[in-house]
Amino acid sequence: MTGTVETRLAAMGVTLPPAAAPAANYVPWCQSGRLLFTAGQLPLEGGRLAATGLLGRDLDMAAGKAAARLCAINVLAQAKAATGDLESVARLVKITVFVASTADFTEQHLVANGASDLLAEALGDRGRHARSAVGVASLPLNAPVEVEAVFEIA
């Protein structure tokens, strides 16, 4: 895969938004050595939640994957804010995807593919990552998905 991360994002029709400001008492990202940790990112679009509710009740799989994709875009926006240039990302180490879902919903891993697919396509080989997909009863602001990431910085 050739080209810069931003070139690949543009080819995908993705423009990174400004990095979201923290909504409480935390920082949006923190670097320790060569590792960059992002705070959990919600499916914000234009500064507002693009979707709300629980998977398995209020949202279907397609809406959940779309929400996870938006979360991944916002993760990249935080990484760019932290580094100034996504080309300084040596690799995406791991993401954790939290999926607000009903007790009988068991396809969190498929929802998480919305984030994983976007990150792998945007970052190329540097975007192959470990992942956890976790079902939760609720998320802040009634968001359906939240994604956090750990990057290694060159």
pLDDT of 38-74, one tens digit each? 999 999 999 999 999 999 999 999 999 999 999 999 9
| Share above pLDDT 90 across residues of the chain, in percent, rounded to a whole number | 97
pLDDT of residue 30: 98
Q: Based on C-alpha coordinates, what's the Rg of the chain?
A: 14
pLDDT at residue 2 is higher than 90 = no
Q: How far does the chain reach from its first CA to its final CA, in angstroms?
A: 19
What is the average pLDDT value for the chain, to the nearest integer? 97
Domain parsing of the chain, residue ranges: 36-153
Report which secondary-structure segment, H or E, holds 149: strand 145-153
pLDDT at residue 27 is higher than 70 = yes
pLDDT in tens, 111-136: 999 999 999 999 999 999 999 999 99
pLDDT at residue 1 is higher than 80 = no
CATH code, residues 36-153: 3.30.1330.40
Q: What is the dihedral of CA 120, 149, 36, 83, to 10 degrees?
A: 60
